[in-house]
Amino acid sequence: MSPMITSILILSLATGTIITMASFHWLLAWMGLELNTLAILPIISKSHHPRATEASTKYFLTQAAASALILLSSVMNAQATGQWGILQLEDPLAQTLLTMALAMKLGLAPAHFWLPEVLQGTSFKTGLIIITWQKLAPMALLLLTWNQASMLTLTMMGSLSVIVGGLGGLNQTQLRKIIAFSSIAHLGWMATIITKSNKLALLNLTMYILISTPMMLSLIFSSTKTTQDLTTSAPSPILAPLT
């Protein structure tokens, strides 16, 4: 992939996220999410490997279904209230559908099955984008509508995500799958916390990104892909025992 195309895709990623985070109209938020999804697909499948193609297809289908649910919930809310504002989400069914759609975009259980498979089929650099930057736009919508979303749905999906994320990574040897289940568990805690305070959830998201980014970068620089690579990699000279 040429540097110009890569720059355009990264710019589109940033633009889609900014549009969603800065919008107060459901159609604009949906447009930003779609731009974000379409920009990440070539980045996922750029290696032309069958696993990368499979990962991009799974990511596209999941995100497209979630975006359709968001559009459906916004249309239902507009039909019930006559308003398209994000802060005017008053229809109970629309609130539940929106919560489920955002949970699917984030990778909360039970709609979490796509995240480990997508991360396993991509490189660590692309995985870093998926578990950090791609969470910003859905979390921004969740933070904007935290007092109007379905609290019961968020609490149940968040609690289930904590359990699934904690248990799912125990029997894994691939680091990307372990990181995926770790992301599911962290997002479960954010979804549970956001029912009480959106500021604490924002703090949790910030800490998660600050922790995940250097961890992924260290794995990228050391070319570590499995837990066995961690045990066979050369130790740091600082940590090596004196002989």
204 CB-near residues (< 8 Å, 6+ apart): 186, 189, 190, 193
Domain ranges of the chain: 3-231
192 CB-near residues (< 8 Å, 6+ apart): 154, 155, 158, 159, 162
Contact 124, 219 (CB under 8 A): yes
What are phi and psi for residue 158, nearest 5 degrees?
Answer: -65, -45
Q: Which of 186, 164, 178 is nearest to 229 (CA)?
A: 178
Q: What share of the chain is helix, strand, coil (3-state, %, to 5)?
A: 75, 0, 25
Per-block mean pLDDT, blocks of 10 residues, the chain (243 long) = 86 92 89 92 86 91 93 90 83 88 90 89 90 91 83 88 90 88 92 88 92 90 79 53 39
> Residue 237: its pLDDT value, please?
46
Structure tokens at 80: 């019930």
Q: Which of 47, 158, 66, 176 is nearest to 115 (CA)?
A: 176
Structure tokens at 132: 């950090």
Cα 93 to Cα 10, 100, 194: the distances in Å are 35, 11, 20
> Residue 67: its pLDDT value, please?
92
Structure tokens at 216: 């992924």
Structure tokens at 49: 């490997």
> Residue 243: its pLDDT value, please?
36
> Residue 233: its pLDDT value, please?
59
Cα 177–Cα 183–Cα 188 angle in degrees, nearest 5 = 130
Exposed / middle / buried, residue 79 (Cβ in 10 Å: 0-12, 13-18, 19+):
exposed
> Residue 86: its pLDDT value, please?
84
